[in-house]
Amino acid sequence: YKKEVVRRGELPATSADGQHFRIMGNIELPEEVVAVKDHGGDGIGLFRTEFLYLSRIDFPGEQELFDQYKEVVELMSPLPVTIRTLDINGDKEIESMPSPEEANPALGLRAIRFCLKNPEIFKTQLRAILRAAAHGYVRLLLPMISGAEEITECIRILNQAAAELEQEGLEHNRDIEVGIMIEIPSAAVMADLLADMVDFFSIGTNDLVQYTLAIDRGNRHVAHLYSPMHPAVIRLIRHVVDAGRHKGKKTYMCGEMAAEPMHLPILMGMGIEELSMAPQSIPKIKNLIRKINVSEVKKLMDTLLQQSSVQDMERIIMDAYGELL
Ligand code: PEP
Ligand code: MG
């Protein structure tokens, strides 16, 4: 059985009508690269970098970060590795800097907000990423971006990091794609303008659903209301993809939504060519893609976008694709 799963993963993710998709792996540790390769991943769509910052009393230094990123990048080369900068606090806490007392950590000093408040910690990570980029295909991904100013500030610090490396004569590569996570509704709404500032978008549905529907992603009392198929979420995603496309920028997805078979037709219909997920889900999703006609799902899109409830969305998908899913 395992062999069969792996073999299916090796086949390309080409739809029944010949459109190519890339199915990537999400990882947190270098060890997980093996699982992405074994399951036929087309690269790393999300490398969550929190791990090295957890369970320790100090912050990791540049060399330690560089060694880890370089290892992942070399193992995956020539395929892309999308390294996401630190996303701590919120639901991921560190010991080296106790998080402030916050009534609502998910709305607090999290991810890019933490990094911009601690630019030295951020720059250390950016330097390590730029150095690793000299050893393979690296994309930089910024988490929890809410608007334009944060991007401007991140790029300023990134340029500063590159200038320093240049001056110190350390091998690096500044010529990397820079993308933002779309996981806060304000960024989704502003996608047409933010597209001018970055090379790609990656939709983080775990947080985008949480913030759009005002439902704590970890709260079991409201878990029944948490759905990526909520029409408001689907409309937001559609807006982001279209806004990016207008500006010649690609939109990818790395939230859990990407690994759920029932959601796949709609993502293919919207034209999201790259989906990233837990390595174990890759073969299943690749296999489904090969059975679906993009031109057919596209015809369903107008109907889907006119629905006002999750139940109606799901019913339409199940009526059309239930047998495959
Ligand atoms: C997301 O929010 O969908 C995402 C991929 O990021 P994380 O789960 O690490 O917050
Ligand atoms: Mg997130």
Alpha helices for the chain (secondary structure H)? 2-10, 33-38, 62-76, 112-117, 119-132, 148-168, 185-189, 191-194, 205-213, 231-246, 264-270, 282-289, 294-305, 310-321
What pLDDT sits at residue 64? Answer: 98
Paired with 148 in beta bridges are none
Hey, whose CA ends up nearest to atom 3 of ligand 1?
204
d(CA 207, CA 181): 10
- Nearest ligand, measured from the Cα of 144: 2
CA of 204, closest atom in ligand 1: 3
The answer for 271, left when phi > 0, alpha when psi is -120 to 50, beta otherwise, is left
Does 207 sit in the ligand 1 pocket, CB within 6 Å? yes
User: ipTM higher than 0.95?
Assistant: yes
DSSP label at 133? G
Joined together, the tokens standing for residue 75 give 């193992």
* Secondary structure (3-state) at 295: helix
Binding-site annotation: residue ranges for phosphoenolpyruvate: 48, 84, 206-207, 217
- Phi then psi for 79, rounded to 5 degrees? -75, 155
| pLDDT score of 5 | 58
Q: Give residue-wise pLDDT tens across range 116-163.
A: 999 999 999 999 999 999 999 999 999 999 999 999 999 999 999 999
Query: Residue 7: what pLDDT?
Result: 60
Token code pair at residue 15: 């739809």
Task: Return the structure tokens found at 217.
Answer: 């992603």
Residues in the chain predicted with pLDDT less than 70, given as ranges, are 1-8, 90-93
Report the candidate in 100, 41, 66, 75 with the shortest Cα–Cα distance to residue 282.
Answer: 41
Tell me the CA–centroid distance for residue 206 and ligand 1, in Å: 5
Instruction: Specify which residues 13 forms β-bridges with.
Output: 21
Spatial neighbors of 219 by CB under 8 A, at least 6 apart, are: none
What is the pLDDT, as a whole number, of residue 2? 59
Q: Residue 12 and residue 289: Cα distance in Å, rounded?
A: 9
pLDDT at 4: 63
Q: What is the C-alpha separation between 48 and 84, in angstroms, rounded?
A: 6
Give, as residue ranges, everything with CB less than 5 Å from ion ligand 2: 183, 204, 207
pLDDT at 57: 85
Dist. CA 11–CA 16, nearest whole Å? 13
Q: Compute the distance between CA of residue 201 and CA of residue 195 in angstroms, rounded to an integer.
A: 8
Q: Is there a contact between 123 and 166 (Cβ–Cβ < 8 Å)?
A: no
Q: What is the pLDDT of residue 91?
A: 63
Which residues define the annotated binding site for Mg(2+)? 183, 207
Write down how long the chain is.
325
Which two structure tokens, joined as six digits, stand for 90? Answer: 């919120």
Six-digit token string for 150: 């944060």
Which protein residue's CA is at the shortest distance from atom 9 of ligand 1? Answer: 48
Q: Whose alpha carbon is nearest atom 8 of ligand 1?
A: 206
- Supply the DSSP symbol for 292: -
